[in-house]
Amino acid sequence: MLVTEEETGEGSGAAGLSADGSVSSDLPLPDRRWVAYVEFLYPLALLLISLGVTFMVRAGFGISVASSVAYIASLAFPAFSFGTWSYLVMGLLMLALTLVTRKPRIGVLLSFGVSVVFGVLVDRFSAWVAPWPDGIPIQLLYYAVGITLLTVGIAVFIDTGLPPNPYERFVSDLSRHFGIPFRKVKTVYDLASVATASLLLLLFVRRLVGIGPGTVFAALANGTLIGFWLRLLVRRVSVRSLLFPARYVRPVHALARQVETANK
């Protein structure tokens, strides 16, 4: 559900974004931002991410790093689908996170629940796009649509402020636990994911599939694209909640953290 802040009678607040996209308390947010409710945005984000990953797989130029291990595992051990492997891998990540931090939290279980829904959606969408035509031009279109949907979905996910997907939670929680910058932990995790996926390819699949130029491009461009979409959301959309309205009256530093996280 979308309405304008003018229609809800809410002001835009005293914080905004400067011309370069950074958050500034000196600039007002637009007077007519759209109001979007988190109860609608969160499932929308999950839908967009699932569709984005599906289109990237269908393109055949290489999947995103975050999904590479699950996808290659589905090729190496086809008894389980890509969607099933997605939440199995994420479940192992959440278990490892709990063992390392020794802090079992309800948010970890919620993140795993998100991964199960994601896996089911990916399997459904994969069956839907399977009979679609091939060819380099159309596959390039699939990839462009996929990476756009994926990065928009992640930006919406971040903007809701609700429990993140397991990949983001694993990286961010390890970063906080060990006091290591987010960017470094993410780099190590991404390299480990590519190494694990490559090892599975060499040992079980024995052909180059799933990892390609699209994987490299996604690794280089995703952060920039997510940051772009998130800045656009902050400018144009004011997030509210029907169930927890007070939680979503967020000060400027919360918006700043969102933009900073998206660019790391």
The torsion region of residue 188 among left (phi > 0), alpha (psi -120 to 50) and beta comes to alpha
Q: For 119-127, what is the mean pLDDT? A: 95
pLDDT 10s digits, 138-171: 999 999 999 999 999 988 888 887 766 778 788 8
Q: For 205-233, what is the mean pLDDT? A: 86
Cα–Cα distance measured from residue 57 to residue 61, given in angstroms and rounded to the nearest whole number = 8
Write out 201-240 in H/E/C secondary structure: HHHHHCCCCCCCHHHHHHHHHHHHHHHHHHHHHHHHEEEE
Q: Which of 46-60, 128-142, 149-163, 192-206 has the lowest mean pLDDT?
A: 149-163
* φ/ψ (deg, to 5) at 209: -150, 145
Cα–Cα distance measured from residue 179 to residue 181, given in angstroms and rounded to the nearest whole number = 7
Q: For 182-186, what is the mean pLDDT? A: 80
Structure tokens at 37: 């409710």
Q: With pLDDT > 70 as the criterion, what percentage of the chain qualifies?
A: 80
- Predicted confidence at residue 15, as pLDDT, reads 43
- Of 32, 29, 37, the closest CA to residue 161 belongs to 37
Does the pTM surpass 0.85? The reply is no
Q: For 24-41, what is the mean pLDDT? A: 68
Res. 58 pLDDT band, cuts 50 70 90: very high
- Predicted confidence at residue 119, as pLDDT, reads 94
- Predicted confidence at residue 164, as pLDDT, reads 65
β-partners of residue 37 are 240
At 223, which amino acid appears? G
- List all residues 6 or more positions away from 152 whose beta carbon is below 8 Å from its beta carbon: 48, 52, 229
- Predicted confidence at residue 208, as pLDDT, reads 79
